Structure 1
Protein backbone atom coordinates (compact mmCIF):
# COMPACT_ATOMS: atom_id res chain seq x y z
CA UNK A 1 0.00 0.00 0.00
CA UNK A 2 0.98 3.65 -0.34
CA UNK A 3 3.14 5.75 1.96
CA UNK A 4 1.36 9.08 2.39
CA UNK A 5 1.99 12.39 4.16
CA UNK A 6 -1.16 14.34 5.09
CA UNK A 7 -0.61 18.09 5.13
CA UNK A 8 -1.63 20.16 8.12
CA UNK A 9 -5.21 20.93 7.14
CA UNK A 10 -6.04 17.46 5.85
CA UNK A 11 -9.13 15.96 7.58
CA UNK A 12 -8.02 13.41 10.15
CA UNK A 13 -11.08 11.14 9.67
CA UNK A 14 -9.93 10.53 6.08
CA UNK A 15 -6.47 9.61 7.40
CA UNK A 16 -8.07 7.03 9.70
CA UNK A 17 -10.10 5.51 6.84
CA UNK A 18 -7.00 5.33 4.66
CA UNK A 19 -5.11 3.57 7.43
CA UNK A 20 -7.98 1.08 7.77
CA UNK A 21 -7.57 0.41 4.04
CA UNK A 22 -3.92 -0.48 4.68
CA UNK A 23 -2.09 2.73 3.78
CA UNK A 24 0.83 4.08 5.81
CA UNK A 25 -0.22 7.67 6.53
CA UNK A 26 1.92 10.12 8.49
CA UNK A 27 0.34 13.45 9.43
CA UNK A 28 2.15 16.76 9.81
CA UNK A 29 1.14 16.70 13.47
CA UNK A 30 2.62 13.22 14.05
CA UNK A 31 5.84 14.31 12.34
CA UNK A 32 6.17 17.13 14.92
CA UNK A 33 5.79 19.83 12.27
CA UNK A 34 2.36 21.27 13.18
CA UNK A 35 1.66 24.98 13.73
CA UNK A 36 4.99 26.03 12.23
CA UNK A 37 3.70 27.71 9.08
CA UNK A 38 5.91 25.49 6.93
CA UNK A 39 5.75 26.61 3.29
CA UNK A 40 4.27 24.17 0.79
CA UNK A 41 7.59 23.58 -1.04
CA UNK A 42 9.11 22.44 2.28
CA UNK A 43 6.11 20.17 2.97
CA UNK A 44 6.69 18.55 -0.43
CA UNK A 45 10.45 18.27 0.16
CA UNK A 46 9.95 16.64 3.55
CA UNK A 47 7.44 14.15 2.11
CA UNK A 48 9.82 13.35 -0.74
CA UNK A 49 12.70 12.81 1.69
CA UNK A 50 10.50 10.31 3.55
CA UNK A 51 9.41 8.65 0.26
CA UNK A 52 5.79 9.65 0.91
CA UNK A 53 3.22 11.14 -1.43
CA UNK A 54 1.59 14.34 -0.14
CA UNK A 55 -2.16 14.18 0.32
CA UNK A 56 -3.75 17.62 0.33
CA UNK A 57 -6.83 19.70 -0.33
CA UNK A 58 -4.57 22.64 -1.19
CA UNK A 59 -4.91 21.77 -4.85
CA UNK A 60 -3.89 25.04 -6.50
CA UNK A 61 -0.53 25.34 -4.73
CA UNK A 62 0.43 21.68 -4.99
CA UNK A 63 -0.54 21.41 -8.66
CA UNK A 64 1.76 24.37 -9.27
CA UNK A 65 4.51 22.70 -7.22
CA UNK A 66 4.12 19.53 -9.30
CA UNK A 67 4.94 21.55 -12.40
CA UNK A 68 8.07 23.17 -10.94
CA UNK A 69 9.30 20.27 -8.74
CA UNK A 70 8.41 17.10 -10.67
CA UNK A 71 10.89 14.90 -8.78
CA UNK A 72 8.58 14.29 -5.82
CA UNK A 73 7.21 11.03 -4.38
CA UNK A 74 3.67 11.87 -5.52
CA UNK A 75 0.92 14.41 -4.89
CA UNK A 76 -2.71 13.49 -4.32
CA UNK A 77 -4.79 16.66 -4.66
CA UNK A 78 -8.37 16.25 -3.42
CA UNK A 79 -11.51 18.32 -3.51
CA UNK A 80 -13.28 18.79 -0.19
CA UNK A 81 -15.86 16.11 0.61
CA UNK A 82 -17.46 15.77 4.05
CA UNK A 83 -18.24 12.12 3.32
CA UNK A 84 -14.86 11.06 4.74
CA UNK A 85 -15.25 7.36 4.01
CA UNK A 86 -16.28 7.94 0.39
CA UNK A 87 -13.31 10.29 -0.09
CA UNK A 88 -10.92 7.74 1.39
CA UNK A 89 -12.33 5.07 -0.92
CA UNK A 90 -11.89 7.30 -3.99
CA UNK A 91 -8.30 8.02 -2.95
CA UNK A 92 -7.65 4.32 -2.36
CA UNK A 93 -9.05 3.43 -5.79
CA UNK A 94 -7.02 6.14 -7.52
CA UNK A 95 -3.67 5.31 -5.91
CA UNK A 96 -3.94 1.53 -6.04
CA UNK A 97 -4.55 1.81 -9.80
CA UNK A 98 -1.01 3.25 -10.13
CA UNK A 99 2.08 1.07 -10.20
CA UNK A 100 4.05 3.90 -8.55
CA UNK A 101 3.17 7.36 -7.27
CA UNK A 102 6.67 8.69 -7.92
CA UNK A 103 6.47 12.03 -9.76
CA UNK A 104 2.73 11.74 -10.33
CA UNK A 105 -0.06 14.19 -9.69
CA UNK A 106 -3.33 12.42 -8.92
CA UNK A 107 -6.52 14.43 -8.72
CA UNK A 108 -9.34 13.03 -6.61
CA UNK A 109 -12.56 14.92 -7.24
CA UNK A 110 -15.87 14.79 -5.41
CA UNK A 111 -18.55 13.44 -7.76
CA UNK A 112 -21.18 15.86 -9.00
CA UNK A 113 -24.53 15.70 -7.27
CA UNK A 114 -27.48 15.09 -9.56
CA UNK A 115 -30.45 17.44 -9.17
Structure 2
Protein backbone atom coordinates (compact mmCIF):
# COMPACT_ATOMS: atom_id res chain seq x y z
CA UNK A 1 0.00 0.00 0.00
CA UNK A 2 1.02 3.61 -0.54
CA UNK A 3 2.59 6.07 1.90
CA UNK A 4 0.89 9.45 1.54
CA UNK A 5 1.30 12.96 2.89
CA UNK A 6 -2.04 14.81 2.63
CA UNK A 7 -1.74 18.57 2.21
CA UNK A 8 -3.63 21.01 4.39
CA UNK A 9 -6.79 21.27 2.25
CA UNK A 10 -7.15 17.54 1.55
CA UNK A 11 -10.47 16.23 2.97
CA UNK A 12 -9.94 14.29 6.21
CA UNK A 13 -12.87 11.87 5.56
CA UNK A 14 -10.96 10.67 2.49
CA UNK A 15 -7.79 10.27 4.59
CA UNK A 16 -9.72 8.00 6.98
CA UNK A 17 -11.15 5.94 4.14
CA UNK A 18 -7.71 5.52 2.56
CA UNK A 19 -6.38 4.35 5.92
CA UNK A 20 -9.21 1.81 6.11
CA UNK A 21 -8.07 0.55 2.69
CA UNK A 22 -4.61 -0.05 4.17
CA UNK A 23 -2.75 3.07 3.07
CA UNK A 24 -0.36 4.90 5.42
CA UNK A 25 -1.55 8.51 5.39
CA UNK A 26 0.07 11.34 7.34
CA UNK A 27 -1.68 14.71 7.26
CA UNK A 28 -0.07 18.14 7.41
CA UNK A 29 -1.98 18.67 10.65
CA UNK A 30 -0.64 15.45 12.23
CA UNK A 31 2.90 16.41 11.21
CA UNK A 32 2.27 19.73 12.99
CA UNK A 33 2.93 21.68 9.80
CA UNK A 34 -0.56 23.19 9.51
CA UNK A 35 -1.15 26.89 9.81
CA UNK A 36 2.55 27.71 9.68
CA UNK A 37 2.27 29.32 6.26
CA UNK A 38 4.57 26.77 4.69
CA UNK A 39 4.87 26.91 0.95
CA UNK A 40 3.91 24.14 -1.45
CA UNK A 41 7.62 23.65 -2.07
CA UNK A 42 8.10 23.04 1.66
CA UNK A 43 5.17 20.61 1.73
CA UNK A 44 6.75 18.68 -1.12
CA UNK A 45 10.19 18.78 0.53
CA UNK A 46 8.72 17.35 3.74
CA UNK A 47 6.97 14.58 1.79
CA UNK A 48 10.26 13.75 0.07
CA UNK A 49 12.08 13.66 3.41
CA UNK A 50 9.48 11.15 4.64
CA UNK A 51 9.46 9.16 1.36
CA UNK A 52 5.74 9.85 0.90
CA UNK A 53 3.56 10.71 -2.08
CA UNK A 54 1.60 13.97 -1.90
CA UNK A 55 -2.20 13.87 -1.84
CA UNK A 56 -3.59 17.23 -2.94
CA UNK A 57 -6.59 19.03 -4.35
CA UNK A 58 -4.25 21.97 -5.04
CA UNK A 59 -3.66 20.61 -8.52
CA UNK A 60 -2.22 23.59 -10.39
CA UNK A 61 0.58 24.34 -7.93
CA UNK A 62 1.69 20.74 -7.47
CA UNK A 63 1.53 20.00 -11.21
CA UNK A 64 3.79 23.02 -11.68
CA UNK A 65 6.20 21.67 -9.03
CA UNK A 66 6.23 18.27 -10.73
CA UNK A 67 7.02 19.84 -14.10
CA UNK A 68 9.87 21.77 -12.51
CA UNK A 69 11.38 18.68 -10.84
CA UNK A 70 10.06 15.12 -10.88
CA UNK A 71 12.51 13.98 -8.21
CA UNK A 72 9.83 13.11 -5.62
CA UNK A 73 7.89 10.09 -4.38
CA UNK A 74 4.74 10.84 -6.36
CA UNK A 75 2.09 13.52 -6.55
CA UNK A 76 -1.58 12.53 -6.61
CA UNK A 77 -3.41 15.61 -7.90
CA UNK A 78 -7.15 15.24 -7.32
CA UNK A 79 -10.35 16.97 -8.28
CA UNK A 80 -12.34 17.49 -5.07
CA UNK A 81 -15.28 15.14 -4.82
CA UNK A 82 -17.96 15.23 -2.13
CA UNK A 83 -18.67 11.51 -2.42
CA UNK A 84 -15.85 10.52 -0.07
CA UNK A 85 -16.16 6.78 -0.72
CA UNK A 86 -15.86 7.19 -4.49
CA UNK A 87 -13.05 9.70 -4.03
CA UNK A 88 -11.03 7.27 -1.88
CA UNK A 89 -11.78 4.34 -4.18
CA UNK A 90 -10.57 6.26 -7.25
CA UNK A 91 -7.31 7.17 -5.48
CA UNK A 92 -6.85 3.58 -4.30
CA UNK A 93 -7.44 2.29 -7.82
CA UNK A 94 -5.03 4.80 -9.33
CA UNK A 95 -2.15 3.97 -6.99
CA UNK A 96 -2.52 0.20 -6.74
CA UNK A 97 -1.88 -0.41 -10.43
CA UNK A 98 1.42 -1.96 -9.42
CA UNK A 99 3.80 0.68 -10.71
CA UNK A 100 6.01 2.63 -8.28
CA UNK A 101 4.78 6.18 -7.62
CA UNK A 102 8.26 7.69 -7.47
CA UNK A 103 8.61 10.58 -9.93
CA UNK A 104 5.03 10.21 -11.18
CA UNK A 105 2.19 12.69 -11.40
CA UNK A 106 -1.16 10.93 -11.17
CA UNK A 107 -4.35 12.85 -11.82
CA UNK A 108 -7.50 11.62 -10.13
CA UNK A 109 -10.50 13.42 -11.56
CA UNK A 110 -14.14 13.27 -10.62
CA UNK A 111 -16.23 11.29 -13.05
CA UNK A 112 -19.23 13.15 -14.40
CA UNK A 113 -22.31 10.90 -14.39
- 2: CA distance, partners of 1:20 / 1:31: 20
**Equivalent in the alignment of 2:44:** 44
Which deviations, in whole Å up to 9, do the C-alpha atoms of 1:51-101 show, x marking residues without a partner?
000000000000000001210110000001000110000000000014210
Q: 1:89 aligns to what? A: 89
> What is the root-mean-square deviation of aligned Cα atoms in Å?
0.6
Task: State TM-score, norm by structure 2.
Answer: 0.98
Q: Give runs of aligned pairs for residues 72-87 of structure 1, distance below 5 A.
A: 72-87=72-87
Provide runs of 4+ in structure 1 moved above 6 Å: none
Distance 1:36 1:95 in 2: 29
TM-score normalized by the length of structure 1 = 0.96
Could you tell me which runs of 5 or more consecutive residues in structure 1 were left unpaired when the two chains were aligned: none
1:99 maps to what in 2?
99
Which secondary structure state, in structure 1, belongs to the residue aligned with residue 81 of structure 2? coil
Residue of structure 2 equivalent to 1:110: 110
Which whole-Å CA distance do the structure 2 matches of 1:34 and 1:58 have between them? 15
1:19 is aligned to 19
